[in-house]
Amino acid sequence: MAQKNVEWIIGRLVTDEEFRRSFRADPGTAIQGLLGSGVALTRCEIAALVRLNPKTCEDFANTIDPRLQRASLRLESPPDFGCEEDGLPGLPDVSQEAGAKGSSIR
């Protein structure tokens, strides 16, 4: 039974982007999460899985047809839309103009 779980986990590493991201960040925690949800593994299997190279898993995943992938919609970092902190370049700051006219934007 445990071998089937090992195969399932390895399959998940190459087809599930979110799980792969979690594994890349902390392999031990990712595997512990599976154990907590009822996946049965021996201590030897856990040790071997935690030692998998996340980069190798990522490289292999990149060879899999995208139609077999489970994509993540979560962003690792917010996108840079090219906006300046105080507003868009070249556009007036409407929050100051609204305050000067006595109105507010809601």
pLDDT at 81 (0 to 100): 47
Contacts of residue 40, defined as CB under 8 A and 6 or more positions apart, other chains included, come to 1, 2, 5
In a domain, residue 99? The reply is no
Total structural domains within the chain: 1
In a domain, residue 84? The reply is no
In a domain, residue 16? The reply is yes
For 11, the 3-state DSSP assignment is helix
In a domain, residue 38? The reply is yes
pLDDT at 106 (0 to 100): 47
- In the predicted model, residues of the chain with pLDDT beneath 70 are 1, 71-106
pLDDT at 12 (0 to 100): 94
Interval 40-65: pLDDT, tens:
999 999 999 999 999 999 999 999 88
In a domain, residue 46? The reply is yes
pLDDT at 16 (0 to 100): 92
pLDDT at 70 (0 to 100): 73
